[in-house]
Structure 1
């Protein structure tokens, strides 16, 4: 976890309210569960002098993310936020089951209607950060940290990209597919060519690569080589054309296809699943490149990769230099809960829940919205 902590200490502290583009209707209760809105009205009319402490937690080992966003949300939409007292862990902190990560204290009617929204922010951001962290950890199984490209743009609604990209950054991925994904942490997206580009050159990977290099001469050239389902043949064609100018090749073979390399080498079949991007194909590709003197060409793989699949590749020593990962990183598998645990300074929580003080929490300073 030191990598993330150093990154946070060296590059960012707290994101500010200006980072986030909140929908103004949050303040009108449009996104709050109706029973929170009704409780707010009752508290205003019947219990105006109440003072509660709400604490937030989840139930697993995780990499926390979303605290800055949640704090900014409260500071933007709570009533009299300057009168609220908040304590929080930081984005990037490792957390344990049931550990309190955030507390908010003040009159319920000032902030209680934001409870469900805060839960959702913390749940999504922490899920993505934790998923990415686990994939990054799997990709250093063999002793060398291999980069993870966050390619989640096609797996969820585009409005989620900035927050998901930030959560992926907290989890350890600094290579991301869109500019929006990098918006909150200050870089731009990266990428070379999709299958659509090669299609417009009628499947001629060399011609597509030439066009790319001529148009973006300062970029590293990474050629996509699975369009014709013959990755070794097309990789060698591009490598012979560009030599040292070729930085890498990306293999994204569909998991329903068997590469033509195996159709030419029937004797290899029968001992493994030959579909998609498989270890045997990457071993063969690396050997073919090396045999012709292209040891400098990196191999990037993508298409259905997840923590378990990367761990399998790394355990076999498959010569992958970078993984592109998408949908598996966006699974929301961590849920946060907010509970009122103190009422007017005394313990008061539903059965099975209690106030859990946490010495790791830091007091949040209000700087205005």
Structure 2
């Protein structure tokens, strides 16, 4: 019997595999695999969400006007140039579907977020993967890969899973070298954690350019991964497209309430940033001291380097035996590395203790 068959190419897509949350036989686990905030959401979020529970029969406010205004105030940008999304990943898909299709090419860096090729393939476009240099995006290589078929360049800054970043001068050099008809999509999911003195958000560049989009998320420093809220700052010509292709009511009402409450609690956000600023170098130094080099990171995670793929797998197995879940990154082409989220003080100490025991075994 014949069955419906999907559009050509869809079954060739490798589905995204999220980080694990459980370990068989372990009642209590430490999950430091998905770059979630160890401080969780602001206490003000749960209070605000409770106030919206008596309106679950009503559709959410489609344009997310209140949230966009709150974002405009918090980041000093124009509300009319903000588009909210169901997590920042939805924005990747909207951009790919809107600006690329069969016969087009979309560029991303070798160790970029795995959602990029998925969004590109779903759109029917061709993914062009550009090699990195020392785990950093290579601007010259990206520019060399541009052809008349190029429609979008996806670039995470800071990058996941490496934690590396490009300074403002390099981002501007990339933009200056791109044809005006190529969209530069800057994924800044971890921007709030970045402390490097030469790191600058692309928001200012996007303010003056017709082909730059900056996407952000509430899943990381704001601790709202469960409710799925993202947002992007776009030129008006891109906004005009996005409001036509986004799903109706794509950000649910409770998510909008939660995001507004999170934005309003600056003290909680600063505490999350301070916690990461304290523990990121402490965990990095502790692992380096036991012979596990760490890639310098501007995110809320580290990329730990092992001797080879077998060593990384053995370390992962040892951590799991201690009830600790981290993220193997062989799927990114980095089989000799493990990505580790900065957790609570207790979780970080447990991680260091477990890996110390592993190295001594």
- Alignment TM-score, normalising by the size of structure 1: 0.29
- Alignment TM-score, normalising by the size of structure 2: 0.29
Higher Rg of the two aligned structures: 1
